[in-house]
Amino acid sequence: MNNWPTAFVRGLFGALLGALGLLSCSQYSTGRLPVAYHNLTARFNAYVIARDKLKLAEEQMANERKDTYTQLLPIYEKLDSNKTILVRPLLEDAIKKASTIADRHQNSKWLDNAYNMIGVAKLYRQKFGEAIETFKYVNTKGQNTDQKHLAVVGLMRGYLETEDYTAAANVAEYLRQQPLNQENTVKYYLTKATLHQRRGEYKQAVAVLDATFGGLQKNEETARLHFIAGQLHDILGNYQKANDHYALVQENRPAYDLGFFANMNAVQNEALTGKNSTHLDLKQMLADRKNSDLKDRIYYTMGVIETRKANYPLAVSYFQKSVKETTTNTVQIPYTYLELAQLHYDKLQKYELAQAYYDSTLALLPPDVVDYQRIAERKKTLDEFVKQLTVVRTEDSLQRLANMNPVALDQLLDEVIEKQVEAERARAALAQQLLDQAKLIQSNNFEGNPAERFSLYDAVAVSRGKIDFKQKWGNRTLEDDWRRSSKEKLLVGSADNPKPNNNGETINSAGIDNSDALKRGSPEWKSRKDALLANVPFRQEEKEQSNKKVEDALYRLGKIYKYELNETPNSIRTFERLVAQYPKTEFRAEAYYLLYLMTENSPKQSVWREKLQTEFPAASYTRLMLRNASGVSAGSDADALRAYASVYELYKNSNYSEAQAKVEDALLQYAGSQIEDRFAVLNVFLAGKLRGKDDYLKALNEFVKNYPNSASLPRMKEILEVFQPATAKRKE
């Protein structure tokens, strides 16, 4: 009874609201009172709730984001259903609440905002088609100019996610001409910078990103954008500008890891620009407990610094320590291997080691990394290089074995087999140790509820558990013997603690029972020796096959040294060995020509020039040499025309032998003339008339290779296409 005035007021207020609702029930009315009612109801009953749900979903997605700072970070991450699964209920709630405005409050000023929120939520749900249509609707039917602009920015993002970059670029050009407010300008710039980044247009991306910072507040997200700008400037080689942005990372309250990697990148850039590096600080950072999981990156940075200083052995040591110190964050490893690969390739010219490091790099490197294709191509080159080098070394060794004294050879083979057996013992010991560990782990009793143990066989539960663990802890090393008791058990009978077997005999430190060891003179030992001897080229036919392998490999190695590795001295040595060791090699003419080119300004050049002209006067390589060495005057062109008319007359009259002799002379005499290719065409046809199909095909291929700008090239290619299928079929 004492509260009757309050109850009366509440009742009166409720009655007034009810009356107001009855007067303004139509959502299509344009009257001031109905519009005010729907504005109020739409805002507090729907818009604010949907906005907060969407904002919470965006915050959770940002918190779940796992940035890999060794890679170029995306300005906007590509939307992935696996990454948004946890916020899906929030997105559905946001769509549901915002949809009530469209359903019940059509005359509300929050209608455009609601549609834009629905479009954004559908983007995050990967319903890109629906999102794009929603944004188009707002742009076409909307009443609020700022919301229409925001819808067009959303449309651009939708095209980005569907990888329709042309449409996204067209939308960006439209927005560039619109009077955007500050909030829309920032979102437009970030979306446009993302477009350039995904298209690999890093110069444009960083230019747009630089223009964005004036409209941003100081926070962790701004720090992240400064880090990305620094990375983009690094890619472009603008190391000082990159460091300016890395410094700004520290001014925007970054997370610890983000600030740490910004510092590491800045230190590396100081080394690149010749400034004094903070090496002492890095060593202090190694002792800091906060960096216990980041030592691999610190050692990596120290290795980069020493590489820039040309202290290559120390750099290799630091890189190796980086790999050794890797704990939970294994994403650093491929970049460390890449530095080792590049160091051994570019600085040390140890191509076999470089190939091994490139192989390890590509096994772990994400394929969307900048320069991935270039790295893959270099690895492919080194694979071929190591393959050919292995052929040369193997065949050289086998040929030396073939020339050895039988007694010395037999002793050497025994030593080889002993090393094989030792390696097999070590592998067997490791395999047995792993098997023992597996048995011990399997025998451990499960100490939890049996119902919980059954969940381990639930694929959905296991998958979800993996996702939750990775999101919280990142990549953790998978270790056996996680129980202390298991580890203690494994110490018994380990390689360092021999134990007796069932027969009372002792297993050696390698973990192998000596009673089963392979003995010299046993049938298996003899079988192994026979297998090794089978590869030694004792017979003449085998020696010829071995020599052919070396000949082909030397030719390929010489070209790889010259064209792929830019190692001219090694290429010269390889081709010199080829022509000296195999004076009748089919690659002799090309080898002479390449040696001629590589010994420019050297007394040896005249030697190779003379050899090429003397031994191969009509070869295409001879003509190439003469063409490049001499200019042709107008008078010479006139002489060439007269000579061609004479030769062509002989060809028409079927005087093929005489025409062939004159063509060969003309190709040498008029090399570099405007009609040289016409002599070459006659030479092709004469090869077919005089020497048969194989020489005809070879002449056609030489023409295509040597005269890419000839007007006769299409005709030669057509003829070649007719012959090549027949040739391929014959080889099959």
Read off the pLDDT of residues 118-128 as tens digits, 9 standing for 90 and up. Answer: 999 999 999 99
pLDDT of 276: 60
pLDDT value at 502 more than 70:
no
Nearest alpha carbon to residue 170 among 195, 203, 194: 195
Chain segment 284-327, per-residue pLDDT in tens: 888 888 888 888 889 998 998 889 888 999 999 999 999 888 87
In the predicted model, what is the mean pLDDT of residues 470-476?
48
Residue 727, both tokens: 């040739």
Q: How far is CA 396 from CA 393, 541, 546, 547, in A?
A: 5, 16, 9, 9
Chain centre distance of CA 683: 47
pLDDT value at 460 more than 80:
no
For the entire predicted model, the pTM comes to 0.61
Residue 539: DSSP 8-state: S
Chain segment 568-613, per-residue pLDDT in tens: 999 999 999 999 999 999 999 999 999 999 998 888 999 999 999 8
Greatest mean pLDDT among 3-17, 26-40, 101-115, 707-721: 707-721
Residue 275, both tokens: 């400034």
Cβ atoms within 10 Å of 179's Cβ, excluding its own: 9
Nearest alpha carbon to residue 344 among 371, 316, 363: 316
pLDDT value at 182 more than 90:
yes
The amino acid occupying position 384 is: E
Chain segment 266-288, per-residue pLDDT in tens: 988 887 776 665 545 788 888 88
Cβ atoms within 10 Å of 485's Cβ, excluding its own: 10
In the predicted model, what is the mean pLDDT of residues 694-723?
84
Neighbouring residues of 275: CB distance < 8 A, sequence distance ≥ 6: none
Q: What does residue 513 show for φ and ψ, rounded to 5 degrees? A: -70, 120
b/e map 296-328, b = 16+ CB within 10 Å = bbbbbbbbbbbbbeeeeeebbebbebbbebbee
Residue 508, both tokens: 């050696």
**3-class DSSP assignment, residue 293:** coil
Query: Under a CB-based contact definition with an 8 Å cutoff, are residues 298 and 282 in contact?
Result: yes
Greatest mean pLDDT among 15-19, 327-331, 494-498: 327-331
Above pLDDT 70, what percent of the chain?
A: 80
Query: Under a CB-based contact definition with an 8 Å cutoff, are residues 622 and 668 in contact?
Result: yes
pLDDT band at 637 (very low <50, low <70, confident <90, very high): confident
Query: Under a CB-based contact definition with an 8 Å cutoff, are residues 508 and 498 in contact?
Result: yes
In the predicted model, what is the mean pLDDT of residues 454-466?
45
The amino acid occupying position 333 is: I
C-alpha span between 84 and 58 (Å, rounded): 9
C-alpha span between 88 and 126 (Å, rounded): 11
Can you spell out the DSSP letters for 119-148?
Answer: HHHHHHTT-HHHHHHHHHHHHHH---HHHH
pLDDT value at 180 more than 60:
yes
**3-class DSSP assignment, residue 521:** coil
The amino acid occupying position 91 is: L
Mean pLDDT, the chain, as a whole number? Answer: 81
C-alpha span between 541 and 274 (Å, rounded): 60
pLDDT of 628: 67
